[in-house]
């Protein structure tokens, strides 16, 4: 089957839509590309973090003297080396960034809140000495009772993590501190009226486990600190400007005194949109006077970096006999980990988004517990809510005897549909993905015994935001495009392609580069499915600025008005016909740039608006082994409205990768804790992500409904693909075994227990 593309608007592009080899590719297939842990500096020390063995404890004291006395140890830091930040919400967020929480998560002060919570860090002349020194740091803990599960953490008698945390968003304001950080809600219409009109109601509770982003590259940073107060950090992250800002805040430094140089990043998926090691590396470098390298082990990654929330989701849907949806209600309880900030609100906003439901509510609860602080994971909050809604719709379709795709088509959101969170949709392509799914051969292929087919849809907003780009024309007509966004999935290629398209030259003549914080103007991080959209827009505008200059230079050379020069196919053409003028190539104009006014370049910084939301519909076939409960994914098709695929292979890659993560989330991935609140499966053997032999080929269909908010029609694509798979897989299993799956992961022991109790 493979990969298909459906164009719904036509435009003649020369470069956009082709598949050139990515510019950084050779370095990546030869091992030359430098990731965070690949950097070394002369005189560099090795760092190691000291972490709590307890899930919840008060820190009565930390004695670093023995560690400091060990020969080869050059510095030890604790929270005392960082400013004690007040609990102010100084910037905004879907859950506000409280830098005090970020700081406390980077290194604990007064209390440790999860096994693995950092309490100190050491720097020494070798890894072995650093490890020995870490073991010599003595921490006096007063162990406290802990709580892991979100429902347990909500109970009145639960151990309280933060004595100053009072639930926001409830009336009256609570008198007692609790683990319930916040409640938010959304209302559309009147659900009491809506449910009263329903002929049929489906109401279910679902649960999902916490899952980790699972990037193969552990966090790594190298920091140096010069005597004049300038810190330089080499690290892999999803945003060098974010690292700079967070380190400045956490260390009490001026932003201008920190330079962050982005390494290649070995996967992020949202998990590297915050800092863990960087502030500690700088603090150690500052104290020791030497560069310091800090790298996490895989165990540390699992114990101490953000997974996404586990959840409890209750969904109630009401419909008419003919399948028209009349009312929807959802209650979401998400676990935030040790500090507030789960994406429960986003779950509430996205769950019903693909549907035109006149009456709906979402109630979203953010709850803390003694687990690592959660971090963003690809469409944060959406997959869990979609799992509930899409499973409920599947059940509804079964009860009505309706094709589940037709049920969705009947109620599909379109341009002008009112969302639960307020605004109406502009141009979207959801119905087109459903139509493509319905027409796809996968939907009508025959199934065998113990096999089932599931369909599910999903939504994500996609964001724009600030981005900068600079386009420089070299003397020989080659071009550099500099942007400030780390390349996680092949975006460098897309930047080069968009510039080449505007300039009218071969993409091989355009060299994309990623600048550090000192080399390019501010760019918001790589995340939110924003780079091809927002940074792409900046690249296009900077390229257009260059084209304007090229036309002006040609006009000078020809002694005509700039308005009498057109730019076409990489050449300046004179529209004035009084004499013959040979078109001038970019190369020719570049060559004489010094004579016509100096070097030619364009730099643009924008705050990109107009990001179009994305929708996906996935089809999944599974086969269940009734003797072991093992689920095999036989066939998978991911269909998504991608706006316009600049480089189709990398867009397909996003769909395939997101689907694979969702399949792992549905079938195997979860955190296993013991009675002491310690993580039992902090490694890839037992935190079971999909391997090559678990998956079939993942077919993709790229539906292109161009986004009017971008010059080439681009929509963000990276996050949508992880939203449908949880329910697509669960619906397939439910149909294969005749038992509705409401708990993820559907691991073999769980499924087998269900089958056994059903006597199959």
Partner 1 sequence: MNKHHVTATVNGEPVEYLCETEATLLDVLRDRLGLTGSKEGCGTGDCGACSVLLDGRLVCSCLVLGVEAEGRQVTTIEGVANGGELHPLQQQFLDDAALQCGICTPGFIVAAKALLDHNPNPTETEVRYWLAGNLCRCTGYDKIVRAVMNAAAKMREEA
Partner 2 sequence: MATVVLQGDLARRCTGGLTELEVDAADYRELMSRLGERYPALVEAVRTHTAVAIDGEIFQDPLLEPIGPHSEVHFMPLIGGGAPPVRRLG
Q: Locate 549 and state its tokens.
A: 């200059």
Q: DSSP character for 441?
A: H
Q: Which one among 310, 318, 429, 465 touches partner 2, defined by CB under 8 A?
A: 465
**Full DSSP string of 344-364:** HHHHHHHTTTTB--SEEEEEE
CB atoms within 10 A of CB 463: 18
Q: Which is nearer to partner 2, 265 or 633 (CB)?
A: 265
**Taking CB under 8 A as the rule, does residue 32 contact partner 1?**
yes
CA torsion through residues 529, 532, 534, 535, sign: positive
**Taking CB under 8 A as the rule, does residue 670 contact partner 1?**
no
Q: Which of residues 214-253 bind partner 1 (CB under 8 A)?
A: 214-218
**Taking CB under 8 A as the rule, does residue 445 contact partner 2?**
no
Contact (Cβ atoms closer than 8 angstroms) between residue 20 and residue 201 = no
**Taking CB under 8 A as the rule, does residue 377 contact partner 1?**
no
Residue 29's binding partner among partner 1, partner 2, none (Cβ under 5 to 8 angstroms by kind) is partner 1
Distance CA(585)–CA(572), nearest Å, equals: 6
Q: Which one among 214, 310, 464, 745 touches partner 2, defined by CB under 8 A?
A: 464
How many angstroms separate the most distant Cα atoms in the chain? 91
**Taking CB under 8 A as the rule, does residue 22 contact partner 1?**
yes
CB atoms within 10 A of CB 189: 17
**Taking CB under 8 A as the rule, does residue 187 contact partner 2?**
yes
Q: Mask of contacts with partner 1, 697-716, x by CB under 8 A?
A: xx------------------
3-state secondary structure of 754: helix
Nearest CA-CA partner of 419 in 467, 351, 472: 351
Residue/partner pairs of 477-480 with CB below 8 Å, 24 or more apart: 477/505, 477/509, 477/585, 477/586, 477/587, 477/588, 477/590, 477/591, 478/509, 478/510, 478/511, 479/503, 479/505, 479/509, 479/510, 479/511, 479/546, 479/586, 480/510, 480/511, 480/512, 480/513
Measured from the CB of residue 247, what is the shortest distance to partner 2 in angstroms?
13
First to last CA, the chain: 34
3-state secondary structure of 155: coil
Q: Mask of contacts with partner 2, 246-285, x by CB under 8 A?
A: ------------------------x--xx-----------
Choose the binding region for partner 1 from 332-340, 405-413, 655-663, 752-760 (rule: CB under 8 A).
655-663
Residue 65's binding partner among partner 1, partner 2, none (Cβ under 5 to 8 angstroms by kind) is none
Distance CA(260)–CA(231), nearest Å, equals: 8
Measured from the CB of residue 654, what is the shortest distance to partner 1 in angstroms?
8
Q: Which of residues 398-417 bind partner 2 (CB under 8 A)?
A: none
Distance CA(64)–CA(136), nearest Å, equals: 7
CB atoms within 10 A of CB 307: 25
Q: Mask of contacts with partner 2, 417-436, x by CB under 8 A?
A: ----xxxxxx----------
Contact (Cβ atoms closer than 8 angstroms) between residue 391 and residue 314 = no
Q: Locate 578 and state its tokens.
A: 């009084």
Q: Which one among 8, 26, 143, 426 touches partner 1, defined by CB under 8 A?
A: 26
Choose the binding region for partner 1 from 23-31, 65-73, 567-575, 607-615 (rule: CB under 8 A).
23-31
Distance CA(676)–CA(686), nearest Å, equals: 19
Q: Which is nearer to partner 1, 6 or 689 (CB)?
A: 689
**Taking CB under 8 A as the rule, does residue 521 contact partner 1?**
no
Q: Mask of contacts with partner 2, 4-43, x by CB under 8 A?
A: ----------------------------------------
**Taking CB under 8 A as the rule, does residue 672 contact partner 1?**
no
Residues of the shown chain interacting with partner 2 in the complex, contacts defined by CB under 8 A: 89-97, 169, 171, 184-187, 238-239, 242, 245, 270, 273-274, 343, 345-346, 349, 376, 379-380, 421-426, 460-466, 524-530, 607, 609-611, 709, 719
Residues of the shown chain interacting with partner 1 in the complex, contacts defined by CB under 8 A: 19, 21-22, 24-26, 28-35, 37-38, 128, 213-218, 264-269, 295, 297-298, 488-490, 647, 649-650, 652-653, 656-657, 659-661, 683-685, 689-695, 697-698
């Amino acid at each position: 089957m493979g990969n298909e593309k459906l164009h719904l608007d036509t435009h003649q592009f020369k470069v956009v839509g082709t598949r050139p080899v990515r510019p950084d590719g050779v370095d990546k297939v030869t091992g030359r590309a430098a990731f965070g842990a690949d950097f070394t500096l002369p005189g560099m020390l090795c760092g190691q973090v000291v972490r709590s063995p307890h899930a919840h404890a008060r820190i009565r004291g930390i004695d670093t003297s023995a560690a400091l006395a060990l020969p080869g140890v050059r510095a030890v830091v604790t929270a005392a080396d960082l400013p004690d930040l007040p609990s102010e919400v100084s910037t905004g967020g879907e859950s506000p960034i409280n830098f005090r929480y970020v700081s406390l998560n980077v290194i604990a002060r007064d209390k440790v809140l999860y096994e693995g919570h950092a309490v100190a860090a050491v720097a020494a002349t070798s890894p072995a000495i650093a490890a020995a020194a870490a073991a010599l740091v003595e921490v006096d803990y007063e162990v406290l009772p802990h709580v892991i599960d979100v429902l347990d953490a909500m109970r009145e008698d639960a151990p309280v993590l933060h004595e100053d945390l009072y639930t926001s968003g409830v009336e009256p304001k609570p008198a007692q501190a609790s683990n319930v950080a916040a409640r938010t809600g959304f209302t559309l219409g009147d659900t009491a009226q809506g449910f009263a009109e329903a002929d049929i109601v489906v109401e279910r509770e679902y649960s999902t486990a916490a899952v980790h982003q699972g990037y193969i590259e552990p966090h790594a940073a190298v920091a140096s600190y010069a005597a004049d107060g300038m810190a330089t950090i080499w690290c892999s992250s999803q945003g060098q400007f974010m690292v700079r800002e967070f380190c400045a805040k956490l260390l009490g430094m001026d932003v201008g005194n920190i330079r962050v140089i982005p390494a290649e990043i070995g996967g992020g998926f949202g998990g590297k949109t915050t800092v863990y090691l960087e502030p500690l590396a700088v603090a150690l470098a500052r104290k020791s006077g030497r560069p310091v390298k800090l790298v996490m082990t895989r165990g540390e990654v699992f114990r101490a970096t953000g997974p996404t929330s586990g959840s409890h989701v209750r969904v109630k849907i009401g419909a008419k006999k003919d399948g028209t949806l009349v009312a929807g209600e959802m209650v979401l309880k998400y676990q935030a980990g040790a500090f507030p900030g789960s994406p429960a609100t986003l779950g509430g906003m996205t769950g019903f988004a693909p549907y035109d439901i006149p009456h709906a509510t979402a109630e979203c609860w953010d709850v803390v517990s003694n687990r690592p602080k959660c971090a963003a994971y690809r469409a944060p909050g959406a997959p869990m809510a979609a799992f509930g809604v899409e499973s409920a719709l599947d059940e509804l379709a079964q009860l009505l005897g309706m094709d589940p795709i037709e049920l969705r088509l009947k109620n599909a959101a379109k341009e002008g549909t009112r969302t639960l969170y307020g605004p109406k949709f502009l141009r979207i392509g959801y119905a087109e993905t459903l139509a493509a799914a319905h027409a796809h051969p996968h939907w009508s292929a025959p199934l065998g015994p113990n096999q089932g087919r599931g369909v599910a849809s999903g939504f994500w907003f996609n964001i724009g935001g600030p981005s900068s780009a600079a386009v420089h024309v070299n003397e020989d007509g080659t071009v550099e495009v500099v942007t400030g966004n780390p390349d996680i999935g092949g975006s460098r290629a897309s930047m080069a392609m968009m510039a080449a398209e505007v300039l009218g030259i071969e993409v091989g003549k355009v060299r994309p580069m990623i600048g550090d914080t000192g080399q390019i103007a501010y760019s918001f991080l790589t995340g939110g499915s924003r780079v091809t959209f927002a940074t792409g827009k900046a690249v296009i505008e900077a390229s257009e600025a260059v084209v304007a200059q090229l036309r002006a230079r040609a006009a000078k050379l020809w002694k005509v008005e700039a308005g009498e020069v057109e730019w076409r196919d990489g050449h300046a053409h004179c529209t004035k016909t009084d004499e013959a003028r040979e078109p001038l190539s970019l190369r020719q104009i570049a060559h004489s740039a010094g004579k016509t006014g100096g070097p030619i370049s364009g730099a643009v910084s924008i705050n990109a608006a107009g990001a179009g939301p994305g929708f996906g519909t996935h089809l999944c076939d599974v086969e269940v082994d009734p003797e072991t409960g093992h689920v095999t994914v036989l066939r998978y098709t991911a269909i998504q409205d991608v706006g316009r695929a600049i480089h189709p292979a990398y867009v397909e890659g996003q769909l395939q990768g997101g689907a694979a993560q969702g399949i792992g989330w549905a079938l195997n991935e979860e955190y296993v804790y013991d009675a002491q609140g310690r993580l039992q499966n902090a490694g890839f053997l037992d935190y079971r992500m999909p391997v090559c032999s678990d998956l079939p080929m993942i077919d993709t269909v790229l539906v292109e409904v161009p986004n009017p908010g971008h010059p080439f029609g681009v929509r963000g694509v990276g996050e949508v693909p992880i939203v449908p798979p949880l329910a697509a897989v669960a619906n397939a299993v439910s149909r294969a075994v005749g038992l509705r799956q409401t708990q993820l992961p559907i691991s073999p022991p769980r499924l087998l227990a269900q089958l056994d109790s059903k006597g199959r």
